[in-house]
Structure 1
Amino acid sequence: MLVRLLYASRASSTLTPELIEGILAQSRQHNPANGITGILCYSGDIFMQVLEGGRDAVCELYNHIARDDRHSNVRLLSYEEIQERRFASWTMGQVNLAKVNPSLLLKHSEKPTLDPFVGSGAASMALLDELIATASVLGKAC
């Protein structure tokens, strides 16, 4: 059974390019073997990530992330059984929201900043869908 999980967290320390690259490299190394695809968005000290795959693999990865000392305030925004993946082309796509037009963020939230802690999981997923539609996702691995 396939599931999709969306969560948000805050970085425990300053987000540096090296920290982001380390997280992405780890994801891209381990996710294919576990059948997990997804996308990671980040801005300021906030992470927002979608994980898709088998229920056990996704739940185990989410629990690992919740214990990871690079993350704090890990919050589950959405969890659902799915018929097909939205993010099947990415072992772990990435979006640096500092490089996205603020009007796109404003379309889905109260302010032109990423803050999934105050919005709904549906609004956060709609933002991710639009980021894909506008080709804002990097790291595509077909």
Structure 2
Amino acid sequence: MLVRLLYASRAAQPLSPEMIEGILAQSRAHNPEQGITGILCYSGDIFMQVLEGGRDAVCELYNLIVRDERHRNVRLLSFEEIRERRFASWTMGQVNLAKINPSFMLKYAEKAELDPFCVSGAASMALLDDLIATASVLGRAS
């Protein structure tokens, strides 16, 4: 059974390109063997990530993330059973929202900044869908 999990967290340390690349490299190395695909968005100190795959694999990975010292204030935004993946093209795609026009964010939030803690999970998923549609997602295909 396939599931999709969306969560948000805050970085425990200031984000650096090395930290982001470390997270992405770890995801790209381990996710394929677990059948997990997804996308990671980040801006300021906020992470928002979607994980897709088998229920057990996704839940186990989420539990690891909750205990990961790089994250704090981990919040589950959405969890659903799905018939097909939205993010099947990426072992872990990425979006640096600092490179996106801030007005793009106003479509989904009160302010032109990423704050998934203050919007619904549905609004966050709609934002991710738009980022895919506008080819804002970077990363290696799975």
Shorter-chain TM band: over 0.9
Query: What is the CA–CA distance in structure 1 between the aligned matches of 2:106 and 2:92, rounded to whole Å?
Result: 25
TM-score w.r.t. structure 2 length?
0.99
Structure 2, unmatched stretches of 5+, are: none
Q: Which residue of 2 aligns with 1:48?
A: 48
Q: Which runs of 5+ in 1 are unaligned?
A: none
SS in 2 for 1:108: coil
Secondary structure (helix, strand or coil) at the match of 2:18 reads: helix
Query: What is the match of residue 69 of structure 2?
Result: 69
TM-score, length basis structure 1: 0.99
Q: Pairwise CA RMSD of aligned residues?
A: 0.6
Question: Identity of aligned pairs, percent?
Answer: 82
Structural mapping, 1:1-142, within 5 Å: 1-142=1-142
Structure 1 residue 140: Cα displacement:
3.5
Aligned residues: 142
Shift of 1:2: 0.1
**Runs (4+) of structure 1 moved beyond 2 Å?**
none
Which residue type is aligned with residue 87 of structure 1?
Answer: F
